[in-house]
Amino acid sequence: MTMCSFPTEWHRQDAVLMAFPHAGTDWAEDLKGALTPFVRIASSIAYNEPVIIVCDDPEAIKQLFCETRNITFVKIPTNDTWARDFGPITIYADGKRKFLDFTFNGWGEKFESGLDNAVTAQLIRQGYLYGDYEKIDFVLEGGSVESDGNGTLLTTSRCLLNPNRNPDMSKEEIEAFLKEKLCLQRILWLDHGELEGDDTDAHIDTLARFIDEETIAYVTCDNEKDFHFPELQKMKEQLESFRTLEGKPYRLVPLPLPKPRYGSKGNRLPATYANFLITNHSLLLPVYRDERDSEMITLFKQLFPTHEIIPIEALKLIEQGGSLHCVTMQIPSYYA
């Protein structure tokens, strides 16, 4: 019988995968400005950990870096830059890494995604990712699932049960399928919570994240007049009802929303401190030139005392509907 597990983000990593903006993406109007946070993120990770950058022109992208140690540039065509959602979801089978290549359909066919959906297979074929591999005919994005590493998955019903993903499957069928493929004991379904301006149908990585097996950091709103207030209150109440596998309430850490940010057309942008990235030695935290930024930096230093906390300004990222975690995907170590 195969022994398997779905590792946490804080499990030891071999690399982080990114995909950079190019003239054929929605970033084209301000490509130089868009590339700035991507270079900052990649450079911050590469200081201690390898980065794989998928891009359309490796030589041109190399010129943006002062130092390219620990960075590999790979020429693969993409529709966009959200590596979290089209990159591989990794499990361990009998102690070794296995890449699961789920279908990416542009968050319910909202956007063209054919090139992005092929990226993981290309990386495997070209030898940049090595390990067992399985292509899976099931729509699932990495930003929609949170693992505690011990058999518990945290996700949202608004995303995974949306008929624009796997319309022919019931909740029970989806749950059974994910338990088998992701080596799970159970799934905790959040039925409330979403961010205005988010195209993903409420990805969990914008709302609530495991800090450890007994701790969940979650987004809160303290303004009763804000669009988000009622739904986030209900989300908090549901999180308070969840129990660990040992039957204990989770320790809950509130992450207040930054002040509202708006795009050029007056649309609200999905700024959230929950969209952080954990790497081997650092935690990259999205910040928004907000008065709460320093408070959040201090909080994360307490939550991750052995990690360097690296603030990354993410205002440009949220203009396209995502933030820092959305443009990265960790590649866990080969052996569990």
Per-residue pLDDT of the chain (336 residues; tens, 9 = 90+): 679 999 999 999 999 999 999 999 999 999 999 999 999 999 999 999 999 999 999 999 999 999 999 999 999 999 999 999 999 999 999 999 999 999 999 999 999 999 999 999 999 999 999 999 999 999 999 999 999 999 999 999 999 999 999 999 999 999 999 999 999 999 999 999 999 999 999 999 999 999 999 999 999 999 999 999 999 999 999 999 999 999 999 999 999 999 999 999 999 999 999 999 999 999 999 999 999 999 999 999 999 999 999 999 999 999 999 999 999 999 999 999
SS (H, E, C) the chain: CCCEECCCCCCCEEEEEEECCCCCCCCHHHHHHHHHHHHHHHHHHHCCCCEEEEECCHHHHHCCCCCCCCEEEEECCCCCCCHHHHCCEEEEECCEEEEEEEECCHHHHCCCCHHHHCHHHHHHHCCCCCCEEEEEEEECCHHHCEECCCCEEEEEHHHHCCCCCCCCCCHHHHHHHHHHHCCCCEEEEECCCCCCCCCCCCCHHHCEEEEECCEEEEEECCCCCCCCHHHHHHHHHHHHHCECCCCCECEEEEEECCCCCECCCCCECCCCCCCCEECCCEEEEEECCCCCHHHHHHHHHHHCCCCEEEEEECHHHHCCCCCCHHHCEEEECCEC
In the prediction, which pLDDT does 2 show?
A: 72
pTM of the model: 0.98
**Ordered structural domains, the chain, with CATH:** 4-332 (3.75.10.10)
